[in-house]
Amino acid sequence: MSANYIRFLGTGAGDFHAAVPDVCGEDCNYKRALNLGGKNIRRATSMFIWPDIVVDFGETSREQLSVFGIPELSIRHIVISHGHYDHFNPSKILEFASLRNEPLEIYGALPIQTALNFAAAHRWNPQTFRFEAQSQENNCRFHEVIPEKPFRLGDVEVIPVLSSHFIDKAHLVVEQQALNFIFRRGSHTMFYNLDSSYLLPETMDYLSRFQFDILIMDATFGDLKIDPLQSGHHNFAMLDETIEEFRGRKMLKPQTRIVYSHLSTCEVPPHDEVAGKMAEKGIILAYDGMTLEF
Ligand SMILES: [Zn+2]
Ligand SMILES: [Zn+2]
């Protein structure tokens, strides 16, 4: 593989493989995917950006680095979108950081730092149903990131933007600040929309300054009808609208690669069954291990 690429380490949603065994019926998408194996298995959302960045780091990220032959000690920067368990596993990150001499650099909103410090100082006792104090090594160096304030990781510029995710919409309560990211390297620009529902107006306005080479969109619920008030994600119909808005605002190039990821294993059929149909519509359905030049 030549330089300047991204690799999907996991393309699942909250029901990623390994997280929720045996949740559905006999002939469910989850079990068919398990039987098919390969590209049909969706692990926790995580993405490698060459040479040393991982975006979102969940339960399965470390083993996926090894599956795809990426040396774990080459990773220096972990960028976290938000604190849901399928994107952020504090114990796994502390364990990963402890392998290194130098601190592991972590970038995210403040609740990410709070959660890492909490996980280092506590363990759960399932017998007493209480937390117990512990002191685990914490070899992470945290960097708070702010929406629309760019920062640089080597030759990659990162611009966090506010996501519409992790919000109790009915009560207008932001439960945790969730971030999406614009990544830029040279003349290449990518939008990482995991996780997200319909974009916030200020985010859409900010994104309108750019033309994107790659869009990685939250497509969690596939063809399932959902109530947007109750969900922090898109289904395919909502994404059609969002992509159309990107097009209307001239944010796409003729060759823009539109990628759907964060795919519910229960709701989006196995890759082998739907990727072809999506390709006819000009959509790339992501799978674990997929690489794109960036
Ligand atoms: Zn998620
Ligand atoms: Zn989430």
pLDDT band at 23 (very low <50, low <70, confident <90, very high): low
Instruction: Check residue 3 and give its pLDDT.
Output: 77
CB proximity list for 219: less than 8 A, separation 6 or greater: 234, 235, 236, 239, 260, 261, 262, 263, 268
Alpha carbon of 101 to ligand 1 centroid (Å): 31
**How many angstroms is it from 260 CA to the middle of ligand 2?**
15
pLDDT of residue 55: 98
Distance 2 CA to ligand 2 centre (A): 32
Could you tell me what percent of the chain has a pLDDT over 70?
Answer: 97
Mean pLDDT in the chain? 96
Looking at the DSSP bridge assignments, the partners of residue 192 are 181, 216
CA 88 to ligand 2 center in whole angstroms: 9
**37-61 pLDDT tens trace:** 999 999 999 999 999 999 999 999 9
pLDDT value at 2 more than 60: no
Angle (CA) 192-196-200 rounded to 5° is: 100
Q: What is the pLDDT of residues 108-124, one digit of tens each?
A: 999 999 999 999 999 99
Ligand 2 centroid – CA 178 distance (Å): 8
pLDDT digit string, tens, across residues 55-66: 999 999 999 999
Predicted confidence (pLDDT) at residue 1 exceeds the cutoff of 60: no
Min mean pLDDT across 5-14, 18-27, 276-285 is at 18-27
Between the CA of 43 and the centroid of ligand 1 the distance, in Å, is 11
Q: Give 147 Cα–ligand 2 centroid separation in angstroms.
A: 17
8 Å CB contact between 166 and 176: yes
Q: What is the pTM of this model?
A: 0.96
Tokens standing for residue 178:
């969730």
Confidence (pLDDT) at 28: 87
* pLDDT band per the 50, 70, 90 thresholds, residue 218: very high
Q: Is 136's pLDDT higher than 80? A: yes
What is the 3-state secondary structure of 184-223? Answer: EECCEEEEECCCCCCCCHHHHHHHCCCCEEEEEEECCCCC
Contact 138, 116 (CB under 8 A): yes
Strands 283-285 and 291-293, how do they pair? unpaired
The ligand that comes nearest to the alpha carbon of residue 82 is: 2
Residues 6+ apart with CB under 8 A from 239: 217, 219, 260
Structure confidence at residue 19 (pLDDT):
66
Strands 77-79 and 53-55 turn out to be parallel
Number of H helices and number of E strands within the chain? 7, 18
- Percentage above 90 pLDDT, the chain: 93
Tell me the per-residue pLDDT of 235-281, one tens digit each, with 9 for 90 and over: 999 999 999 999 999 999 999 999 999 999 999 999 999 999 999 99
Q: What's the confidence (pLDDT) of residue 66? A: 98
